[in-house]
Amino acid sequence: MRRRSILMACALGPWMSSAVAAAVGTACDELVSMTIPNVEIRSATVVPAGLFPPRGAIGTLLQKLFQPGGTIATILPGRFQRFGATNSFVLPEFCRIEATARPVQDSEINFELWIPPPGNWNGKFQGVGNGGWSGDLDYAAMARALRQGYATASHDTGHSGGDLKFGQRHPEKVVDYAYRAVHVMTDTSKLLIRVQTGRFAERAYFVGCSAGGHQALSEAQRYPEDYDGIIAGAPANNRIRQIFGLLWSWMATHQNGKLVLPAAKLRVITQAVVEACDSIDGLKDGLVDDPRACRFDAATLLCKGADEANCLTAAQVEAVRKVHDGLKDPKTGTQIYPGWSVGSEDIGNQSWRTYILDPPEPMRVQFFRYFLFDDPTWDWNTIQWDRDLAYAEEKLGFIAAIEPNLTPFERHGGKLLIYAGWSDPIVAAEDTVAYYEAVTNASGGPVRTLRFARLFMAPGMGHCGGGPGPNQFDAVAALDDWVTHEHAPDQLIASHTTDGQVDRSRPLCPYPQVARFKGLGSIDAAANFGCVNPSAPANGTPAIRR
């Protein structure tokens, strides 16, 4: 087996070795013998088409059936993805590379790179993001990218699991999580693609939502030349302030550690919000178009007598108001982190329960205990909002990705597509809007900003999807068209499905534009809407549901 020595900068930056410029690619299994500073190639194998990862005897049988020429692959190619075992995916053949990077002492970043064979590769690379504080590779996102012809990579953010204890007295691991892991994965993957295929990827995209959206914006801000196009969904990029906001909301809904606001009442609140604000945009369609225009007051649900299921007690009204209003500096009244939008309380498959009501203690309290104060016994009741926030942003400000000046990314020719749901119960929608508006100001106004960065807000959509509003759309295809052909997306066609059937579609418009009904036809068809300035009057023509 041949042995290749690839010389790189310690940070895995510019390509420096003439050996990389080989005219032909290297066999997948030979990649394991490569020498890359600070990177160990643990394995490199060709995975045949079929179920990945295979699960037991049934998985092995299915994998054989799905291989080219296999019974199922011959009869109904690509139709049986749902029959895979849990967390398994039906995939085409690919070269699977497992690697570990150790760019600095006490850093260990595990990642995988999947490369399609030449006949299936579209010539592009797609890095994918993570969720929460998770240290898991996102095989689902990699599977989607691979099926679309991309070489794709995912990493573990430099630790395993979702427990924040990994960062206690391990500052380099916190840096890995904050931004270094994505960059190291990206640089190494680009090199490996070049060696394996014989050529560099023509385009590089990063696609992430939630923590992945945070990673996406971090890449645009810190490493503007890593990617040609970036998708940042529901970005939790204001990470420190979001954690403070979660602590505030948990304390607002709990007294002496006991829940004040029963989860069963969340649905009552959301229904009242929709009833009060649904028609602001001129349509009665079950969606609040822009919660900022909704003047809902939880006091309208105040019980007139005893506590009942369809009303709120005075304590519950106060709790809801605090969550909606968000965290403010107790001395100046300045907003520290926006509140969660009216209408985000309960949208069916998502609600305030997961991050605010149900946790037995404040969500992400480990951030304070293990990252900030190095005190596993820290009591959240001792929080001093202004003092502790200032300390957190001084000590750990690098965790956030809030720099609005994206000029280097723009000069690189990069395109940034941001999206979020107005009913997101995890990342405050108004914080995403605030970041985009900051980018617009730093870029010199909306005209210039729209040339390289666009935000799409989805009414009725939750966190990274879900909710009663149209929430499924192809952001990757839109980004690719923008980067490759300079066709900036003037709208994204989003759909909503029930039991697998599309029952509504709408255009999502580049902020600050909004979708407005044209006055004729079904309000469930995207073709009957257009993107307009939000100051445009709502069409008074009666809606026709078909």
Count CA atoms closer than 13 A to 1's CA, side-chain side.
Answer: 11
Looking at the DSSP bridge assignments, the partners of residue 63 are none
Greatest CA separation for the chain: 82
Kind of pairing, strands 151-155 and 109-115?
A: antiparallel
How far apart CA 516 and CA 529 sit, in angstroms, is: 5
**Cβ atoms 236, 213 nearer than 8 A:** yes
Neighbours of 192 (CB within 10 A): 26
How far apart CA 95 and CA 117 sit, in angstroms, is: 7
**Active site residue ranges:** 210, 424, 463
Encode burial over 501-524: b for 16+ CB neighbours within 10 A, e otherwise: eeebbbbbbbbbbbbbbeeeeebb
Phi/psi for 281 (5° steps) reads: -85, 5
How far apart CA 90 and CA 233 sit, in angstroms, is: 25
CA angle 232, 409, 107 (to 5 degrees): 70
Encode burial over 320-339: b for 16+ CB neighbours within 10 A, e otherwise: bebbbebbbeeeeeebbbbb
How far apart CA 22 and CA 5 sit, in angstroms, is: 12
**Cβ atoms 538, 530 nearer than 8 A:** no
Residue 137's nearest CA partner among 107, 105, 109 is 109
Q: How far is CA 457 from CA 415, 439, 524, in A?
A: 17, 16, 18
